[in-house]
Amino acid sequence: MNKAFKKPDLNLPRFAQKQISLIDADFLKRFAEKNPDMPKLSIREFKTVIRKFNIEVTERVIENRDGVELPQRMGYLFIGCCQRPKKENIDFGKSIKYGVKVIHSNIGSDSYLGKIFYSNYASRYTFPNRELWQFKPARLFSRTVAKTFPDYWQTYIVVDSKKKISKLIEDQIKKRRSKFLIEKSLVNYNEFDV
């Protein structure tokens, strides 16, 4: 039996998290000092380069089932399938439209959710204060994943909520490395050469 849905009051005061841009003139100056061989860029050009890099990473993560290693050994990104949470995930748009509480059912992906995972706990990502790092995807990244996940959800790794992500990533890296070594050894293989 469906309960009547109480529409939220949109006129109440809201909390907006203050956004701070880390890419400013000081950052660009420090970057130029660290990388003197790089061409001089304006802030607009620098932000364009970062945006294009983010788009490239987004496309690679979505296309690659096993995820992507970030440059400078900063960590590992991949998309995983997770079971729907036990708490209710209310679809506010449909609930307001129909007047009853409507729950997101994720029918298109067989009740699985798509999540973007970041980890830097694999043994090769050792840098100071790595446990303090956090990954927050750009809006474009999260929206692109949300749009493409229902179509490709079967290709992504199913993540068990009771397993550690670092263990899952280590297994993926080992599989990829062994596959590379096998392919490398087969290049020069000749079964008739004794």
pLDDT-derived band at 124, boundaries 50, 70, 90: low
The predicted-structure confidence for 158-171, as pLDDT tens digits, reads as follows 887 777 777 777 77
Residue 12 has pLDDT above 90, yes or no: no
Confidence at residue 84, expressed as pLDDT on a 0 to 100 scale: 77
Copy the structure tokens of residue 15. Answer: 């909390």
Instruction: Round to whole Å and give the CA distance between 176 and 109.
Output: 27
Q: Could you tell me the sign of the dihedral formed by the alpha carbons of 42, 44, 50, 55, in that order?
A: negative
pLDDT over 70 at 122, yes or no: no
| DSSP code at position 77 | E
pLDDT surpasses 60 at 101? yes
Residue 1 has pLDDT above 60, yes or no: no
Q: Return d(Cα 68, Cα 41) in angstroms, integer.
A: 27
- Domain ranges for the chain: 66-174
7 versus 78: the higher-pLDDT residue is 78
Our measurement of the distance from residue 149's CA atom to the centroid of its chain's CA atoms, rounded to an integer in Å, reads 12
pLDDT > 90: percent of the chain: 9
Crossing angle of the two packed helices 43-63 and 25-34, in degrees rounded to 10:
80
Maximal CA-CA distance, the chain: 82
pLDDT (average), residues 23-35? 88
pLDDT of residue 161: 74
Write the CB contacts of 118 (distance below 8 Å, at least 6 apart in sequence).
75, 76, 77, 135
166: its two tokens: 């670092």
Neighbours of 56 (CB within 10 A): 11
User: For residue 37, what are the CA distances in angstroms to 40, 42, 86, 191?
Assistant: 9, 15, 53, 49
Which residue type does 22 have?
Answer: L
**Residue 52: band (very low, low, confident or very high) from pLDDT cuts 50, 70, 90:** very high
Percent with pLDDT over 70 in the chain: 95
On the 0-12 / 13-18 / 19+ scale of CB atoms within 10 A, 46 is middle
Given this model, what pLDDT does residue 157 score?
A: 82
Across the range 116-144, mean pLDDT stands at: 78
